[in-house]
Amino acid sequence: MTETPDRPCYTHPLEILWQDEDMVVVYKPAGWLVHRTAIARHETRFVLQTLRDQIGQHVWPVHRLDQGTCGVLVFALSKEACQKLAACFADHTAHKHYLALARGWLPDTVEVDYALQPDDAPEDAPAQPAQTLLRCLAHLEWPEAYDPRHASTRVSLVEAFPKTGRRHQIRRHLKHESHPIIGDATHGKGPLNRWWAERIGLHRLWLHAHALEIPHPRTGQVLRFCADWRQLAHVPEVQQWQQLLAVPGWQATERGLPESCGTLLPTAAST
């Protein structure tokens, strides 16, 4: 059965996090495609075309986010800037920071080095090197069992730092570690996704491109762009994440949440 995520209704322009003569950085809503594609003819919401019309000039996509993923997305405002920015993703001088809700209790730190075969490649195509750093920020133990072998059901709030840029890398690496992302219809567990959706009242892919560091295409200065929840409290997905973290029972690890989440969770030592 195809899972249809909750799709917030946007009645306002795209949130612009940064803009100068070379680049523009926006908050991508969940459920939107970056640009039109022949394999999704039924879709009507595209960041590229909406942003182009919003700022009144041509924009070039520098990288991609999955349709269900929300967060920081960069566009160039010239071909030259696009080439330089895209090169930063190719040579891994662009550093990405994601947040995810994952099944089970992830260990404090996990270094995943697991090669991934391209999704659309032939079966005999070689796998490509892929590395992701995963760190656990908080745990939640729901006092009801999804699996009858256990007395409760657990999830973790995870931050992910992909060192390479393979398609669906974070989603596939968390699945490889037996901690798939909640709401991931492709790499997760459909019945478990629906079970959690019923309990927290939201059905979506719980993956958020929270921040990005990248050298400026003209000056080379390293800039950090963050989808700061304190500044985006009116954005539907941010409200959904805050609703999730307001569920009773969360306990933060010693690392705690980034300040940009605007949320403090109790630690084991404080409870």
User: How far apart are the C-alpha atoms of 30 and 180, rounded to whole Å?
Assistant: 18
Determine which one of 53, 66, 113, 184 is catalytic.
66
Give me the amino acid identity at 76.
A
User: How far apart are the C-alpha atoms of 178 and 134, rounded to whole Å?
Assistant: 13
Is 66 known to be catalytic? Answer: yes
Tell me which residues are annotated as active site: 66
